Structure 1
Amino acid sequence: MVILLVRGGHGNAVGVLVLRHQVAILRRQVRRPDLEPADRAVLAGLSRLLPRARWPAFFVTPATLLRWHRSLIARRWTYPRRRRGRPPVTAEVRQLVLRLARDNPAWGCRRIQGELANLD
């Protein structure tokens, strides 16, 4: 940062040109960049700061940037997922059902369910 302040505007412009040329060289050598999730989040966030006319500066397509941004927002606003299926039965209820079935062998599951509903 200190060096950038000392060099002034002309030095910054030359530095940007050097960086752009290096990126162009790397684009020719690497077919597909290997991006980590943090890289994607940074690029998606930076894309919101640039006007769309400047998006060709990125080495990914605008559709990819928008998809990354959507997934970033979705992760931020995603609520915890509910477990699928029936909720677990407590050990106390399980012991009560087994005791009712053991004490009354002629009762079926419907009768045991009815008796448990009458307990409330």
Structure 2
Amino acid sequence: MRAGASRAGRRQGVVKGLALRLARENPRWGCRRIQGELARLGHRIGASTVWKILTADGFDPAPRRGGPTWREFLTSQAGAIIACDFLHIDLVDLRRV
């Protein structure tokens, strides 16, 4: 056994714990984002390794970031939509729109 082998094992455990903690605290982050944050903390690890850690622990992939659904969008904009229905404008030729 090499002299640094036990330290490498402890380091892997720390990185695994950090990756799982980041995934738990930030459910919308994907493997690439978690890998980037680990790199900022000084831990060089590949995104595929992060994916293996997360899937082994039962984490599903991060949700798609295509934006809100129509239902979520309309719910958040409902107040503005209703306010626009009661808005009127008087034009220069005294017509009301």
Same structural fold, with TM-score higher than 0.5 when normalized by the shorter chain: no
From the CA coordinates, give the structure whose radius of gyration is larger: 1
Higher helix share: 1
> What TM-score does the superposition give when structure 1 sets the normalisation length?
0.26
> What TM-score does the superposition give when structure 2 sets the normalisation length?
0.32
Greater relative CO, 1 or 2 (CA 8 Å, sep 6+)? 2
